[in-house]
Amino acid sequence: MPRGFPIFAPILAILFVLSTCVFTVAESELAIRTQFREIRGTGYGPGLHFKFPIDTIIKFERRVVSQSFQGETFLTSENRGLVVDYYVKWRIRDPARYFRTFGENEGAAAQRLSDIVKDGIKNAVAQRTLQEIVSAERTAFTGDMYGRASKTVENLGLELVDVRVQRIDLPEDVASRVYASMQQSFDRLARQLRGEGEKDALRIRAEADRKRTEIIANASRDALKIRGEADSRAASVYSAAYGRNPEFYSFYRSIQAYKNSLGKEGDIMVVSPDSEFFRYLRSPTGGANR
């Protein structure tokens, strides 16, 4: 026997006894102390704690657990099938009650919670038509179910953190019929909108044509009126000018007539040489050979 063994043996025994009388709890854990499967202590926070050597420490996950469920089928109030994808977030709230209900079987707890949530979604879907489910917001769709399920799982020592519907779809055979019906509905709506658009277009064009005709008629009327007034003023001016110097006025008008009538290529005039038209060409004074 080694010389130092009698000294270290009691120390080792004491350390062994101490190791069976203490335990630690991490931040991410919940713990209960049992004795022969009977709960003797709960509510242990993170850190070092003491126990009796015959006690057993059972630890559970404190953090939130997430579960996803894909392709679950539910029936609406119209007996139409819906394929729903959703997920559930939960955690242990009361470890003692959880232990009494499920023991250390986390899978049983997850299955029980899944059944409760699935029943809630089933009831929510069964109370609504397909149109109501599609048009409603998903939070409103899961709101009532979430409240009832939360109260139920509290009795199991659990806390339901969140339930969210990720996808709502129709079975393939039903989806094809619904999509065909939706396409027909949209085509009918498109034809109706096109008809209303063409009707409005015809009305707008007719109104524009009427206004155009009215504007042109008013413009023509105003133009004739202005021309008439101008011609009247011009005649008055010509008359006044003629009255003041008839000879000069006659000469000026003859010069304008010569300018507009003579010297143009291709023009032919049949006029007698002694016509009154040429009197200012025969004589600058216009008085010769009258």
Give the DSSP letter string of 28-94: TEEEEEEETTEEEE----SEEEE--TT-EEEEEE-S-EEEEEEEEEEE-TTS-EEEEEEEEEEEES-
Confidence of residue 15 (pLDDT cuts 50, 70, 90): low
As a whole number, the mean pLDDT across the chain is: 80
Per cent of the chain over pLDDT 90 is: 20
273 residue type, one letter: P
What pLDDT is stored for residue 127 in this prediction? Answer: 82
Kindly provide the b/e burial profile for residues 23-38, where b requires at least 16 CB atoms within 10 angstroms of the residue's own CB: bebeeeebbbbbeeee
How far, rounded to the nearest angstrom, does the alpha carbon of residue 134 sit from its chain's CA centroid?
A: 15
Q: What is the C-alpha to C-alpha distance for residues 66 and 114, in angstroms, rounded to an integer? A: 11
What does the block give as tokens for 145? Answer: 């179910």
pLDDT by residue (tens digit) across 66-111? 888 888 888 888 887 888 888 889 999 999 999 988 888 888 888 8
What does the block give as tokens for 261? Answer: 């009538």
* Region label for 47, one of left (φ > 0), alpha (ψ between -120 and 50) or beta (otherwise): left
Beta carbons of 129 and 76 less than 8 angstroms apart: yes
* Region label for 50, one of left (φ > 0), alpha (ψ between -120 and 50) or beta (otherwise): beta
Q: Strand locations in 76-109, DSSP E?
A: 81-92
pLDDT by residue (tens digit) across 186-240? 899 999 999 999 999 999 999 999 999 999 999 999 999 999 899 888 888 877 7
271 residue type, one letter: V
Query: Containing H/E element for 222?
Result: helix 172-244
Beta carbons of 287 and 276 less than 8 angstroms apart: no
What does the block give as tokens for 40? Answer: 């003797």
Q: Which residues contact 80 (CB under 8 A, 6 or more apart)?
A: 130, 170, 174
What does the block give as tokens for 284? Answer: 């600058």
In total, the chain counts a number of residues equal to 290
Q: Which of 95, 89, 92, 106 is nearest to 58 (CA)?
A: 95
Beta carbons of 289 and 279 less than 8 angstroms apart: yes
What average pLDDT does the segment 122-141 reach? 74
pLDDT by residue (tens digit) across 249-267? 777 777 777 666 666 666 6
Domains and CATH numbers, the chain: 5-61 (no CATH), 65-170 (3.30.479.30), 234-282 (no CATH)
pLDDT by residue (tens digit) across 137-152? 666 667 767 877 888 8
Q: What is the C-alpha to C-alpha distance for residues 245 and 188, in angstroms, rounded to an integer? A: 84
| Phi, psi angle pair for 265, to nearest 5° | -65, 130
What pLDDT is stored for residue 212 in this prediction? Answer: 93
2 residue type, one letter: P
Diameter over CA atoms, the chain: 178
Q: Determine how many CB atoms are found less than 10 A away from the CB of residue 44.
A: 20
- DSSP tag of 274: T
